[in-house]
Structure 1
Amino acid sequence: MRIGFIGYGEASFELSRGLRDEGLEHIKAYDVMVGHEDFGPKILQRAQEAGVFLKNSIAEVVSDLDVLFVAVPANKALDVSVEITSFLEESNLIYVDVSAATPKVKQDISKGLEKVDITFVDVAMLGPLPVYKHKVPIMASGTGTLYLIEKMTPLNMSIDYVGENPGEASAVKLVRSIFMKGIVGLYVEMLEASETFNVSEKVLTSLEETMDTHTFMNTLNRLVAGSAVHAKRRGIELEGSIEMLKEAGLEATMSTAARDRFEKLANLNADIWESAPTNWKDVLSKIHVSE
């Protein structure tokens, strides 16, 4: 198995280090920053530690290769793919993009690769690479996904097939981030308020009891379905929380956004509910009908 990396930052380093531990010997990499005064030494040190052969150009990496991992900044992913494609006319490698680019960018990359008959895999890594290395949970989509799974599973990579359409895997990660990052903002706003009013212990104990009573899916369905029916009242209640935060000189960004969401739910015609919804899909279907 011959593996290559374009971009040799933390992601490529951890993946290559793990694959090297599996016994792979033919691992090459290229990073445009290798000659940089500040970043170059780190790249060289990582490559030496992982037993990776640093090359002087993209062309040297992609020649005679089975799998190419491209790990560049999201805003560079498309431009880099265009440059790489110019060297792939005689290749049959699998092109794996692990950047955090949007689904649209991943689709555009795939279209460009189709012109030279290269299979593409859109990869989203869902865990800390320093912990998991090459075993990090991966969501993958695109024309080359099943080939990638076939090649990399024997090396103990954990790849979950999402579908043939590029962008689907990235959508999973980016949509997931709405919750995982958004809830941090909500936590911080709540904690600032609880500390300001010296009620943290009571608030956190109460929330813990509420959230630990049910599973995640039960809680999601209960809150979304219940809020669809009681959105107006809950929005008004949040107005009190927002006013409290403002009076205390605290930010109310998350609370205000939630209030605005409740107002949109409240604007749904109450007559559309023949019976109270029981899950989030019922609510979403009504929102789409009303738009």
Structure 2
Amino acid sequence: MRCTIIGLGEAGRIYASALQGRGHDVLGYDVAPIPTPNLRRAASMAEAVGQADAVIVMTTARASLPVARDAAPHLGPGTLYADFTSAAPSAKVALTEVLPAGVLTADIAILGPVISLGASTPLMAAGPGAERVAELLRPVGAPVEVVHGELGDAMAHKLLRSIVMKGFAAVICEAVEAGRRAGYEDWVRGQFAAVLSGDGQSTFDRFITGSAKHAAR
């Protein structure tokens, strides 16, 4: 398959290499002069996407819609257009207004650190092209969960997940720092480790019911 990666930062280069390893013809495009010695580069958006079977966008969230507008005139019917950016759900929905009819658009949420997990990072896919993304990336080792919903649904799931992940990380950092200053860091770490090693669903339920029950404290 002819695949184009738009956005050749760490994640873009990792997925480009993984797809090359499965025998796909991969072309890269980025306006920044990022060194990519093992990847062919397109000189223009037209060259990048004009003959592509699949276009994977891994730019910043801010660039999501501008990239789609630039690519739109050059995309053919049946092309898979997968937006991996962290743009808001509303921006993912807006892709339908920008891209031509016949393009299979997919909203992709990356659910882990690509720099450490590589192409095996869990993904969530939504939109008309979601199944095609799963077919393309599962063979490179990517766990792809397909959400049978609209564009923006994958990103909405990620934002809800981020409330937990980033909020929990912030609480742990604050508690460990407080424990360090009080001289109890090891004890604090042990308390968190004990909570995290248990039954996740039971812990989750206990937080919800316990917080409501003892909120007056």
- Give the CA deviation at 1:207: 4.3
Query: Which secondary structure state, in structure 1, belongs to the residue aligned with residue 66 of structure 2?
Result: helix
Gaps of 5+ in 1: 34-39, 234-291
Aligned to 2:83: 97
The structure 1 residue matched to 2:147, chosen from 153, 162, 165, is 162
Distance in structure 2 (CA, Å) of the matches to 1:190 and 1:150: 43
Distance in structure 1 (CA, Å) of the matches to 2:192 and 2:10: 37
TM-score (norm 2): 0.90
Distance in structure 1 (CA, Å) of the matches to 2:66 and 2:197: 49
Distance in structure 2 (CA, Å) of the matches to 1:162 and 1:107: 15
User: Does the CA-based 8 Å contact 2:175-2:188 persist in structure 1?
Assistant: no
User: Does the CA-based 8 Å contact 1:64-1:91 persist in structure 2?
Assistant: no
Kindly tell me: are residues 203 and 30 of structure 1, through their superposed partners in 2, closer, same or farther at Cα, counting changes over 3 Å?
Answer: closer
- Pairing 1:32–2:51 present: no
The structure 2 residue matched to 1:76, chosen from 37, 47, 63, is 63
Over alpha carbons, which structure has the higher Rg?
A: 1
Deviations 1:210-257 (A, max 9, x none): x15731110111121122122111xxxxxxxxxxxxxxxxxxxxxxxx
Kindly tell me: are residues 95 and 195 of structure 1, through their superposed partners in 2, closer, same or farther at Cα, counting changes over 3 Å?
Answer: same
- Give the CA deviation at 1:156: 4.0
Distance in structure 1 (CA, Å) of the matches to 2:192 and 2:88: 34
Aligned to 1:175: 160
Aligned to 2:125: 140
- For residues 242-261 of structure 1, what are the structure 2 equivalents within 5 Å? none
Aligned to 1:61: 48
Distance in structure 2 (CA, Å) of the matches to 1:150 and 1:59: 25
- Give the CA deviation at 1:135: 2.9
Distance in structure 1 (CA, Å) of the matches to 2:164 and 2:128: 28
Calculate the aligned-residue CA RMSD, in Å: 2.0
TM-score (norm 1): 0.69
Aligned to 1:12: 12
Aligned to 2:93: 107
Q: Which has the higher contact order (CA 8 A, sep 6+)?
A: 2
- Give the CA deviation at 1:200: 2.4
Gaps of 5+ in 2: none
- Give the CA deviation at 1:122: 0.7
Aligned residues, how many?
217
Deviations 1:150-190 (A, max 9, x none): 34434444321112311111122222122211122111221
